[in-house]
A and B are shown apart, each in its own frame.
Chain A
């Protein structure tokens, strides 16, 4: 697959996933089972983010150390959020 075709296919997938997230809400899944729908929507966002980083930002073709750099930032942010939120439960 040429790069242009690959980028186009990825765009279509991202577009579809974004639509799917909205559909989850419009279809009333949040009212039926909030936390199940919550995690479904978050996982869809995670998948989209990984796809954009891997292909549009070319992380897939960069040395692994660049991915570690990015993951370092993400881990720091998630650790802060998770631990802080847990501390008040």
Chain B
């Protein structure tokens, strides 16, 4: 653990693991990417002033459009929402931080460096140009200009981003189920926190499917597998023949993620709208319970509507019909939510502040976006609208509609984050200009709807407007597109007002107290602005029906008889990292004070029950990860530069993870907390299970991809793609090895319970040996199959690039093998610790590792029959 310097020090921002600091970092970084993506949009809007590629050129236009979509969807909207989530959710639920603060910092740095990696792609010849949905086969090197170097970098940047998202999802879920204030039931959470809870649930599963798609795509780019390629050579599938499932496989994987992503983006906005409507109408949300139920329904339904994005593909009519019904069904809960917000306004007394105006604006544009989306859910209408600017307009009314509410959130929580009030007049001016720009930009797209998506040439289309006796007017599309470009400029300019307002207010704004908003009742408004480092003076509790803060004695009394590590209460919380104050007096022996003086008298890890807030390792890991991914991007095209980067990055990632694992870092669970429904599942275990649930979807998507391409090819015809030498025995031996290693892990746990050091060492040693045996057996098998030179059917051997069957076999079992290898690193680490006397009477770490190892075992139980028998 390192010292946490004050906020005025640059060093603090590299070290901090505090949720409020991380929240601010997310907000600032997301705004940077808003400007980045926005400037790209302005560039291609200039291109669209005339229907010809006379400004950016064809390639430049494709890159600008693709990068704009990817940056806005991935690097701006969700991270912006998660800036608020980081800052506000722990405060709203009564926690002093997230469950895993260093993991939170790691999420942020992965996010930042993934965005920087995307930026680097512009300097590698060309960035990705295949559209933000990255449809196959346009996402494969064959169809990407140059050597697809920049495009590969973008795919890797997305993998790094998804890793950040997954870590964040695990962290938020663990926090919200383990660290809620006493008496705070899930249903009683503030609506913003509820929206974030549902968002992270969707993220956990949806992004795992995207991760699978991206890993497979990376393999197609770097290793030469054939998942998304149409024409492949080699045996089995002859040159020029189709891989029948290629583009549909990408569409399924992408949209299984992509449709929940719409709600992942929109739910935090909905939460902000609900908060602002309540605060600025002075009324509890009408039908609050039904509003929450509707959100839960949408979160569930979001996973059963994805094929409405594929109505124009070759999927069968039965499935189209089913997905039309589910898609139209998902609009019903949204209707309920919209009416709830409208009735809240009717029943309350509205105060037209800037946050409310943005929330109201978001509701209005979302209604338009939602209604125009229902058209796309109907198969027949979708045949007409798909691939046109109708979709572009609808999509932006929904997504930027969500962003509109997020800007409302920025004004809403700005006083809490900075302690200063923004200029209300400028805020309202910003809103007015924003709405004019927004509607002038996007509404004409409905009128010019026959413009093909992603194509700069909109030809000589025109809109005919018949006004009865007033005449009939024919307006060329060029007029609408020029209006849109003007709207884009106005929308962009509106942000200059916002940045000016927020920047000047930070220095000259009026100081605010705890709560500048009448009727704002959630817990973040019960503490100072900005809040203290550890959030609350005392332990928050809702047990009496209202928020109160308990002292250490009361916490100890209430928690007596319950178990779990942690600290009794919070003691004096520091307002900043530099000093620790208590009622104006310098607190004696506070952790920050001890750190500031370099003294370490406060216990085992330099704390006195207080949590740590600083670690440099998340930053270092992310730098190393950046170098590794940058190296990987060029490893296919060769060159010692990229190979060297890969090696340096890999060593760096490994070393820095070991460094973080060895760093003492104290982040206790509160003694007193509401933990339904995971009351007896301690936070490490819950974190592990949550991660494993995501890993199940990752493996499931890999196995699902294999099943899909095999069904597309012909399930039993598939056998012709596999050499005779690919036999069952190596798989059976590996099954025995893994099963035995799983057995050894449970024996290690039993030995730890019995405090048998010898037993723990023997069992962990056996686990390690069996895992190594598994990998050696696999390596021998692969080597044999690679070199089948005597084979008549496969004279060049059976390797990754030979055919579809070999691609799926090596990649899926390779992913599993990578999991085994990572597990072995963990076993080696635990063996070393056990050698030094750890785990005696404390079998929990072995149990947590076992959860991972057994899942790896379970996955193999399906890979074995699918790839070796059937």
- State the A residues within 8 Å of B (CB): 3-4, 7-8, 11, 14-15, 18-19, 21-22, 24-26, 30, 34, 38, 41-42, 44-45, 48-49, 52-53, 56-58, 62-66, 69-70, 72-74, 76-81, 83-89
Contact = CB atoms under 8 A, between A and B. Distances in A.
Which 9 pairs across A and B sit closest by C-beta, in order of nearness? Answer: A77-B700, A81-B704, A73-B696, A65-B677, A87-B315, A73-B693, A84-B252, A11-B743, A87-B319
B855 A73 contact: no
Interface string B308-349: 001000111001000000000000000000000000000000
Nearest to A84: B252
Interface stretch (B122-130, B385-393, B582-590, B707-715): B707-715
Interface in B662-717: 677-681, 686, 689-690, 692-697, 699-701, 703-704, 707-708, 711-712, 716
Contacts of B690: 69
A74 B703 CA distance: 12
B689 A85 contact: no
Q: Is the interface of B mostly helix, strand, loop or mixed?
A: helix
A7 B747 contact: yes
Contacts of B679: 63
B478 interface: no
B681 A85 contact: no
Contacts, number: 161
Nearest to A42: B865
B857 interface: yes
A41 to B, nearest CB: 5
Contacts of A86: 316, 319
A58 to B, nearest CB: 7
B865 A85 contact: no
A15 B857 CA distance: 12
A83 B862 contact: no
Contact of B870 (A41, A56, A57): A41
Nearest to A68: B677
B248 A88 contact: yes
B851 A18 contact: no
Interface residues of B, number: 67
A contact face: mostly helix, strand, loop, or mixed: helix
B854 A81 contact: no
B298 to A, nearest CB: 16
A88 B251 CA distance: 13
A58 B208 CA distance: 24
Nearest to A50: B858
Given A22-B732, A76-B700, A11 B740 contact: yes
Contact of A89 (B686, B696, B711, B745): B711
Contact of B742 (A24, A56, A74): A56
Contacts of B704: 77, 80-81, 84-85
A43 to B, nearest CB: 10
Contacts of A81: 700, 703-704, 707-708
A25 to B, nearest CB: 5
A48 B310 CA distance: 36
A65 B678 contact: yes
A18 B861 CA distance: 8
B647 interface: no
B205 interface: yes
Contact of B696 (A22, A24, A77): A77
Contact of A66 (B315, B681, B870): B681
Contacts of A58: 847
Given A3-B750, A7-B746, A84-B708, 10 more contacts: A22-B728, A26-B728, A41-B870, A45-B861, A49-B861, A73-B700, A80-B252, A80-B701, A85-B704, A87-B315
Contacts of B695: 73
A15 B735 CA distance: 8
A24 B316 CA distance: 35
Interface in B737-775: 739-740, 742-743, 745-747, 750
Contact of B854 (A41, A57, A65, A72): A57
Contacts of B708: 81, 84-85, 88
27 contacts: A8-B743, A11-B742, A14-B739, A18-B735, A18-B736, A18-B861, A21-B865, A21-B869, A22-B728, A30-B870, A57-B851, A57-B855, A58-B847, A63-B677, A63-B678, A63-B681, A66-B689, A69-B689, A70-B696, A80-B253, A80-B256, A80-B701, A80-B704, A84-B704, A87-B319, A88-B712, A89-B316
A18 B304 CA distance: 34
Contacts of B678: 63, 65-66
A81 B694 CA distance: 16
Contacts of B699: 77
A22 B248 CA distance: 33
A15 B307 CA distance: 41
A62 B681 CA distance: 7
Contact of A57 (B252, B304, B693, B850): B850
A60 B854 CA distance: 14
B850 A56 contact: yes
A73 B207 CA distance: 12
Given A15-B739, A49-B858, A63-B679, A85 B732 contact: no
B245 interface: yes
B701 A52 contact: no
A38 B870 contact: yes
Contacts of A49: 858, 861-862
Contact of A63 (B680, B707, B745): B680
Contact of B307 (A18, A21, A83): A83
Contacts of A45: 861-862, 864-865
Contacts of B304: 79
Contacts of B740: 11
A50 to B, nearest CB: 9
B697 A76 contact: yes
A56 B746 CA distance: 7
A88 B315 CA distance: 5
B739 A11 contact: yes
Contacts of A34: 716
B209 interface: yes
B303 interface: yes
A41 B865 contact: yes
Nearest to B177: A65
B277 to A, nearest CB: 31
